[in-house]
């Protein structure tokens, strides 16, 4: 099995382009990121070309975190901001050859107006990303870490994917978030596999390296492979000791166990 380094959380002592190079040196197979927009796209593209890595995905901007924003797409009174965030993400992603854009929903009251705004923004994202040959991802995020996040259950995400009927819209199945909110990862993954576009892992409950916590990723990822998953798995965790390289003892053994 192949693994992607999420350079939003890993190698944070380095500039983003250098994180890509560090991930290559340390044995990852691809990269993904959160918010690369302060780095010129040409610099990111150069690092990707040098390493031969694919950028599996990036996020739309969260808005103003200091004001409590954690995404904009489902906020009825922020439609213009949400659309601008989607255009920014697609344009940047296209410039660096990213495969997907994760459209962040944001915190809402969970009502019909929020859902309508979310679906409207996702439709725009699918149009723009599709024209650029990219996919769109939506990610259920747990309410312990992000209270009030509009999308928290895999089944809700599946309802949206089915309702919109867009070929390039898929679910980001984050094992950390889904274990906290719902559990039953093996069966929930298999049931939604045709709709899943990316997988991420981290230990539960501390979001550290995936060799600790309550999930046995050796068995879980083996079940994903048995179900038919062949794409890289995203390592989106926060190193417990703060040093990414020092905490990479999990990578080779897990890859070998899943070979």
Which are the catalytic amino acids?
Answer: 139, 236
C-alpha distances in Å from residue 127, one per residue of 141, 159, 209, 251:
24, 19, 36, 37
Q: Provide the 3-class DSSP secondary structure of residue 126.
A: helix
Write the DSSP symbol of residue 39: S
Measure CA of the first residue to CA of the last residue in the chain; give whole Å.
6
- The two beta strands, 196-201 and 233-235, are parallel
Does an H or E element contain 154, and which? helix 154-164
What does the angle CA 21 – CA 90 – CA 154 come to, to the nearest 5 degrees? 90
Q: Pick from 183, 127, 133: which is nearest to 154 by CA?
A: 183
- How many angstroms separate the CA atoms of 47 and 53, rounded? 8
What does the angle CA 192 – CA 201 – CA 243 come to, to the nearest 5 degrees? 165
- How many angstroms separate the CA atoms of 234 and 255, rounded? 13
**DSSP labels, 211-229:** TSSS--HHHHHHHHHHHT-
Beta bridge partners of residue 72, listed in sequence order? none
């Amino acid at each position: 099995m192949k693994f992607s380094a999420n350079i939003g959380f890993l190698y944070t002592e380095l500039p983003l382009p250098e994180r890509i190079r560090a991930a290559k040196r340390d044995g990852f197979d691809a990269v993904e990121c959160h918010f690369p927009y302060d780095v010129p796209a040409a610099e990111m593209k150069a690092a990707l070309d040098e390493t031969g890595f694919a950028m599996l995905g990036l996020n739309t901007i969260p808005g103003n975190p200091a004001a409590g924003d954690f995404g904009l797409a489902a906020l009825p009174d922020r439609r213009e901001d949400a659309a601008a965030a989607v255009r920014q993400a697609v344009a940047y992603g296209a410039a660096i050859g990213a495969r997907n854009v994760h459209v962040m929903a944001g915190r809402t009251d969970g009502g019909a107006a929020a859902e309508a705004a979310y679906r409207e923004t996702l439709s725009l994202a699918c149009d723009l990303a599709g024209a650029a040959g990219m996919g769109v991802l939506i990610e259920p995020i747990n309410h312990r870490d992000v209270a009030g996040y509009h999308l928290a259950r895999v089944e809700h995400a599946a309802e949206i994917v089915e309702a919109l009927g867009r070929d390039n819209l898929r679910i980001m199945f984050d094992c950390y978030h889904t274990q906290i909110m719902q559990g039953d990862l093996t069966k929930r993954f298999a049931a939604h596999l045709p709709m899943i576009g990316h997988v991420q892992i981290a230990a539960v409950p501390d979001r550290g390296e995936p060799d600790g916590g309550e999930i046995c990723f050796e068995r879980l990822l083996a079940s994903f492979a048995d179900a038919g998953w062949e794409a890289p798995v995203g390592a989106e965790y926060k190193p417990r000791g703060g040093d990414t390289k020092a905490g990479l003892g999990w990578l080779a053994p897990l890859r070998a166990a899943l070979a």
